[in-house]
Amino acid sequence: TFLVKTDQSIAKIEPKMWGVFFEDINFGADGGIYAELIKNRSFEFAKPLMGWSIYRNRQKEGEVLVINRKEVNDANPRYLQVKRQTDDFELINEGFKGIGIKKGIRYDFSMLYRMPTLGIKMILQLKTADNKIIGQTVLTPSQTNGATWQKQAANIIATETDPKAKFSIIFQGKGDIDLDMISLFPSDTWKNRPQGLRADMVQMLADMKPGFIRFPGGCIVEGTDLANRYQWKNTIGPIENRKMIMNRWNVEFAHRPAPDYYQTFGLGFLEYFQLAEDLGSEALPILNCGMACQYNTGEVAVLDELDPYVQDALDLIEFANGDINTKWGKKRADLGHPKPFNLKMLGIGNENWGPQYLERLAIFTKAIKAKYPEIKLINSSGTGPDGDRFDLLNTSLRNSKADFIDEHYYKPADWFLKNAGRYDNYPRNDSKVFVGEYAVHADSKVIGSNRNNWQSALAAAALMTGLERNADVVQMASYAPLFAHVDAWQWAPDMIWVDNLNVYGTPDYYVQKLFSTNKGTDVVSITADEKNVIGQDGLYASAVTDKTTNELIIKIANTANQTQTINLNLDGKKKLKSKASLDELENNNLSETNSLERPTTIAPKTTTITLKGKRLSLVLKPYSFNVIRIPFN
Ligand code: AHR
């Protein structure tokens, strides 16, 4: 029998408790949620024509060059020059991993161009892999001011669906033309915003009602070296001025080749803040602290050259919160968002450690707290979380009264089960914990090579009951990484998988969603024989009440391979209604998972259950996670 004390709030739950971690890894942004379909639209990838191929009718005619004007345009140096065009030639883009095209949807093309004389006609085509045309239009560039770049747009309605289409421009007529920012977006983006985000991917996040969104990473914050760190100021303003870099995840990883992976920053900081606002989530940006990824070069900025890094942090707060009379507040308004974003927290460093981190963190903290004492700072605890390095850093951060300490763990399922009580003895009135990245990895020695399955999700659910029970200490948590493309991933497991047209949630997605959509407002105690339920008979439990919806919500993970009948004694003065609901995630095969073909093999099933007064008898299926919602008056 479990005893639930429904009247006694033992901790408040932060509205932002369960959030999401976004990083452009596994084609999460470029080639993923950022809906641009053209790969290497501005010819800035390492090889300028990556993603493009050219077909000419007659080899000798005309000339195609990539011009580099670095001295006058450092942000976007290259463009394509087509000279002495005299006959048909074709420029084809392969897309990121092909181009996902949907029948009946409008595709919006745009380009920057300049040309001295009229005479060129462009036929824009969507084509299947075997060259069947599935949509086309004709665009005649109409501005002949040879010196200035013009923008021209056109659109194509697709006549068929193809997940692996390509895009082609056939040039006809005579003349010269310079081209840049050759772009194609679907029109059915999130909120139908032009050049926006993939609606199906954002919807998956919206359905979770995340309390916060952490961005832009992850290791890409740090970069393999400082030159390739994430710099938010390069990610705002006109997209043709956003200086792109090679993605830190353009690497051979888990025996997979590097995938031509760049960051165009089309999804930049304004878009991240906008996304947070759309989702009703707190924005949680993480900034580079003057240290590159310590798994790579470990390059650090010297202390007396840290000012630009610190200034970036101060300016970011002004960009998010300043009124339009401030320099960066005005910039935000000029970019179309006069209303401040109400930023409340900021991360300094991602996975950084050592005395070098502490020295740099101290400089950031002093400067930020002096100007913005209300902003909560997230401090990195490096990696771990077990081991001397973690303990040393954690102690130092606590001594310096860190607002939040960011713990990351990628560990096997049994570690998660053993650590469900991890926070029960953490100091209560000290620094708060942000579990900023976590996921069950079947074997920590081959990190990054595993797919999610029901075992990983169930073990995460068990641990999360411990996070929830300790919501006074652990005030935020986010699973990581969030997205992965089935044809372009570097790291697994991941919460949500996509191809060019579809998206599905893993069992971990449904566990995360059940927690975040049932977070409640107050933790109440649930015990068996006066002890927290942490693994007795393989059961893990937590309970909350929600004062806004008047519900008691109980979460129980049954990690045992057997059916268990439990009796709940719901003690207290609340008038519980007799009809309650049970959301059940279960499968008797721990290796079972979801896939594009079977996206909801493991997904919650809801049934109605009946209380007898203050008693509830429940049959928990083997390997199941159960969320019980009991309304009260
Ligand atoms: O989530 C994947 C990576 O794991 C993150 O980029 C990094 O912070 C961690 O090591």
pLDDT tens-digit readout, 56-102: 765 555 678 999 999 899 999 999 998 866 667 889 999 999 999 99
Average pLDDT over residues 20-34: 97
Least confident span in 29-33, 118-122, 546-550, 607-611: 118-122
pLDDT of 397 higher than 90: yes
Measure the CA–CA gap between 376 and 350, rounded to whole angstroms: 15
Is the CB–ligand 1 distance for residue 480 below 6 Å?
A: yes
The total of other beta-carbon atoms located within 10 Å of residue 508's CB is 27
351 is catalytic: yes
pLDDT of amino acid 156: 98
pLDDT of 518 higher than 90: yes
What ligand 1 atom has the least distance to the C-alpha of 221? 6
Average pLDDT over residues 403-422: 95
Is the CB–ligand 1 distance for residue 483 below 6 Å?
A: no
pLDDT tens-digit readout, 161-175: 999 999 999 988 888
Residue 324's alpha-carbon distances to 268, 288, 331, 334, in angstroms, are 20, 26, 8, 9
pLDDT of 448 higher than 60: no
Give the residue, by CA position, lying nearest to ligand 1 atom 3.
218
Is the CB–ligand 1 distance for residue 217 below 6 Å?
A: yes
- The Å distance, Cα 632 to ligand 1 centre, comes to 42
Is the CB–ligand 1 distance for residue 481 below 6 Å?
A: yes
Q: Detail the DSSP E strand segments found in 158-225.
A: 162-173, 175-186, 212-215
pLDDT of amino acid 392: 81
The total of other beta-carbon atoms located within 10 Å of residue 164's CB is 17
Is pTM beyond 0.90? Reply is yes
List the one residue out of 12, 167, 1 whose CA is nearest residue 615. Answer: 1
List the one residue out of 517, 485, 503 whose CA is nearest residue 583. Answer: 517
Q: Which of 351, 407, 437, 586 is catalytic?
A: 351
Domains and CATH numbers, the chain: 2-11+523-631 (2.60.40.1180), 13-36+191-519 (3.20.20.80), 52-186 (2.60.120.260)
What ligand 1 atom has the least distance to the C-alpha of 217? 6
- The Å distance, Cα 511 to ligand 1 centre, comes to 20
Mean pLDDT of the chain: 94
Give the residue, by CA position, lying nearest to ligand 1 atom 2.
481
The string of DSSP letters for 322-362 reads --TTSHHHHHHHHTT--S-----EEEE-SS--HHHHHHHHH
- Residue 391 confidence class, pLDDT cut points 50, 70, 90: confident
pLDDT of amino acid 40: 98
What ligand 1 atom has the least distance to the C-alpha of 219? 6
Is the CB–ligand 1 distance for residue 437 below 6 Å?
A: yes
Give yes or no for a contact between 401 and 376, defined as CB atoms under 8 angstroms apart: no
pLDDT tens-digit readout, 338-361: 999 999 999 999 999 999 999 999
- Residue 255 confidence class, pLDDT cut points 50, 70, 90: low
- The Å distance, Cα 218 to ligand 1 centre, comes to 5
Residue 166's alpha-carbon distances to 53, 113, 491, 531, in angstroms, are 11, 21, 27, 60
Is the CB–ligand 1 distance for residue 107 below 6 Å?
A: no
What ligand 1 atom has the least distance to the C-alpha of 21? 1
Q: How far apart are the two ends of the chain, measured CA to CA in Å?
A: 24
Backbone angles phi, psi at 459, to 5 degrees: -65, -35
pLDDT of amino acid 280: 98
- Residue 443 confidence class, pLDDT cut points 50, 70, 90: low
pLDDT of amino acid 623: 98
